[in-house]
Chain A
Amino acid sequence: MPPSFVSIDESCDEAGILGNLMNTKTMLVNETEDLPGDFAIWIFILAEMLVFGVMFIVYAFARSNQIEVFNESQLTLSRAMGTLNTIILITSSYFVVRAVSAIKSGNSRQSAHWLLGTIFLGGMFVAVKLWEFNEKFSAGITLETNDFYMFYLTLTFFHLMHVLMGMIILACIVYKLKNGDYSAKEHFGVETGASFWHMVDLLWIILFPLIYIIR
């Protein structure tokens, strides 16, 4: 797409402010036009957000009918572990950002390292999550214990599946990076995978306070 063109009489712009403004504007327009990664992944991201969004709304409705049960059961969740996982995921998103900027400057080795770091953090997230699930299952809690646990297990399980999916996607990208399939010019795939990972992170950032903290 050509940059937006605004016709202004420059002769009256003595200080060159308008010129600067116009530059900023063109930059901004260009930035919003460039959707990072494959367009198809954005359809998925929107669809995923829709699924989780609907789930969050249903959760809110269910909670409003039985606040006592929800508040009581919520206290049994480990906030410390939830916080730990939040930190892990946010850090992993930072790693992904570094991986993308590394490949943008043509450094595919470094990019692969950052992604391996992300996958490692993803693994840590999974481990913490499984520990939490194990705690709950050994306390005899199931999907049918009450509505709160049903939502807790459902939402966190679906999210966990996405973390695993994201790890698989990133692993494929690492493989391709090591094959030299991506470069400073051609790094579409890295951005696509990064977008998916950010979504996984974003979902957790909403999920965590909603399920673990807000009362």
Chain B
Amino acid sequence: MQYQSQAVAKPYFIAAIALFVGQIIFGLIMGLQYVMGDFLFPEIPFNVARMVHTNLLIVWLLFGFMGATYYLIPEESETELFSPKLAIITFWVFLAAGVATVLGYLLVPYASLAKFTGNDLLATMGREFLEQPLPTKVGIVVVVLSFIFNVVMTMLKGRKTAISLVLVLGLVGLAVFFLFSFYNPHNLVKDKYYWWWVVHLWVEGVWELILGAILAFVLIKVTGVDREVVEKWLYVIITMTLITGIIGTGHHYYWIGAPAYWQVWGSVFSALEPIPFFMLTIFAFNMVNKRRREHPNKAATLWALGTGVMAFLGAGVWGFMHTLAPVNYYTHGTQLTAAHGHMAFYGAYAMVVLTIISYAMPILRGRAANSNKAQVVEMWSFWLMTVAMVFITLFLTAAGVLQTWLQRISTTPMSFMATQDSVAIFYWMREVSGVVFLIGLIVYITSFFIKGETKAS
């Protein structure tokens, strides 16, 4: 690695992968609970398993983003990190807070957890994805602020590139929009309205900037294509993202009591959200085709290309499927949403973090790339996880289509639970795909321990 302080990225990446494992295990638990309702009851009820599954996802992605930032900012700024010590302190604070929160979910009934952690002082708990107790939420803000401070100070003393500017813009956005998790109005419409400012404006707004910046960085490194070219693509992509994504928030406002014009605004703008993802794919393939060097890390290139394709399919195509108000009228909150959520999160965010880990980790361990053998194993894990995710998505889509039909369109509509019973076969197949995904993840972790002849850095 070029700068000593880049090494702080390593613990972040390791923590990210560890939490990723936890996320998948809880995913499998709740996947089984879909078809065996009392599995692990009362120890781990479904709502708790779900909370752990989704919260771990967010936390490990944040670890990944932070690790990625600490790795790429010194290299982009051509200077050591402002304070490596601060980065390590925030790492431990964040990890401790994350683990304590998950243990809290698992060991204490949620209502008691709320009571112990001062939810009566400022009620912020109980909302999907934002279930964290108040101290954790405050902790996240402190950690993110110190992180951004560290990054901005580094940038200020060094070179400012388009990639680091876009990345920091995304991170600042991430911090700002998280503040809406503290705003919890009594009016249910307003509550949902601003809840989306965290959830939607994260994943369909500022996180995409982070995604674009990380991908652009890796592509410059592995392809050797001119920075100018990559930067122009990056600017065009993020502008398209913001144009479509911000007003695209409206696709969550159709039926929550928000004004009716959101049905038009939301439909039109969110229908165009696939465009930046499509451009991302074209961008990745274009850069790799025009590469001016053969980087020894083939696995990282594979992850980078995979991110483009899977993000477009998961976020773009599967999102478009149910984004238009007349369609969403029938499909709202069905398994189609779950199908989209799985492939979009994996394809866009999980994969981009795995991309930067794949590129940076060998360098952090003192070599340009892993041995051929290790890379082959890593590529196997790529295909196992990605194909498993495609099948999870397809089975959930089938379940969602059937559910919409049986429960909402048929002339003799069935009840929710009766419908769930009739689509159970798809939940079983989804669970099998989930096991394959876990195997892929185990293979992925194994690849870190495979020796063999490595290329010097």
Q: Which residues of A contact B (CB under 8 A)?
A: 40, 43-44, 47, 50-51, 54-55, 58, 62, 143-144, 150-151, 154
Q: Is the CB of A55 within 8 A of B261?
A: no
A40 and B260 alpha carbons, distance in the complex (Å): 34
For A58, list chain B residues within 8 Å (CB). 264, 267-268
Q: Is the CB of B261 within 8 A of A54?
A: no
A151 CB to nearest B CB, Å: 8
Binary interface encoding of chain B residues 245-280 relative to chain A, with 1 for a CB under 8 A from any of its CBs, else 0:
000000000000001110011011101100100010
* B243 interface neighbour in A47, A62, A143, A144, Cβ under 8 Å: A47
Residue B186, interface by CB 8 Å: no
Question: What residue of chain A has the Cβ atom nearest to residue B239's Cβ?
Answer: A44
* B269 interface neighbour in A40, A43, A51, A144, Cβ under 8 Å: A51
Given A40-B235, A154-B261, A47 and B268 contact (CB-CB distance below 8 Å): no
* B268 interface neighbour in A43, A44, A55, A150, Cβ under 8 Å: A55
Residue B236, interface by CB 8 Å: yes
Q: Is the CB of B265 within 8 A of A47?
A: no
A150 and B266 alpha carbons, distance in the complex (Å): 13
For A43, list chain B residues within 8 Å (CB). 236, 279
A50 and B269 alpha carbons, distance in the complex (Å): 10
For A40, list chain B residues within 8 Å (CB). 232, 235-236
Please classify how large the interface on chain B is, using the bins under 10, 10 to 19, 20 to 34, 35 or more: 10 to 19
A61 CB to nearest B CB, Å: 10
Seed contacts A43-B279, A51-B272, A58-B267; 12 additional CB < 8 Å A-B pairs: A40-B232, A40-B235, A40-B236, A47-B243, A51-B269, A54-B272, A55-B268, A144-B259, A144-B260, A150-B260, A150-B264, A154-B265
Q: Is the CB of B240 within 8 A of A144?
A: no
For B279, list chain A residues within 8 Å (CB). 43
A154 and B260 alpha carbons, distance in the complex (Å): 13
Q: Is the CB of B272 within 8 A of A50?
A: yes
Q: Is the CB of B271 within 8 A of A54?
A: yes
For B267, list chain A residues within 8 Å (CB). 58
A87 and B217 alpha carbons, distance in the complex (Å): 47
Q: Which residues of B contact A (CB under 8 A)?
A: 232, 235-236, 239-240, 243, 259-261, 264-265, 267-269, 271-272, 275, 279
For A47, list chain B residues within 8 Å (CB). 240, 243, 272, 275
For B259, list chain A residues within 8 Å (CB). 143-144
A42 and B279 alpha carbons, distance in the complex (Å): 14
A66 CB to nearest B CB, Å: 13
For A144, list chain B residues within 8 Å (CB). 259-261
A43 and B278 alpha carbons, distance in the complex (Å): 13
* A51 interface neighbour in B235, B236, B268, Cβ under 8 Å: B268
Question: What residue of chain A has the Cβ atom nearest to residue B264's Cβ?
Answer: A58
Question: What residue of chain A has the Cβ atom nearest to residue B236's Cβ?
Answer: A40
Pairs A-B, 3 closest by C-beta atoms? A150-B261, A143-B261, A54-B268
Question: What residue of chain A has the Cβ atom nearest to residue B324's Cβ?
Answer: A58
A44 and B244 alpha carbons, distance in the complex (Å): 12
For B235, list chain A residues within 8 Å (CB). 40
Question: What residue of chain B has the Cβ atom nearest to residue A53's Cβ?
Answer: B268
A195 and B120 alpha carbons, distance in the complex (Å): 57
For B261, list chain A residues within 8 Å (CB). 143-144, 150, 154
A195 and B275 alpha carbons, distance in the complex (Å): 21
A85 CB to nearest B CB, Å: 23
A142 CB to nearest B CB, Å: 9
A40 and B279 alpha carbons, distance in the complex (Å): 12
Interchain residue pairs with CB less than 8 A apart (13): A40-B232, A43-B236, A44-B236, A44-B239, A47-B243, A47-B272, A51-B272, A54-B268, A55-B268, A143-B259, A144-B261, A150-B260, A154-B265
A102 CB to nearest B CB, Å: 27
B366 CB to nearest A CB, Å: 40
A158 CB to nearest B CB, Å: 9
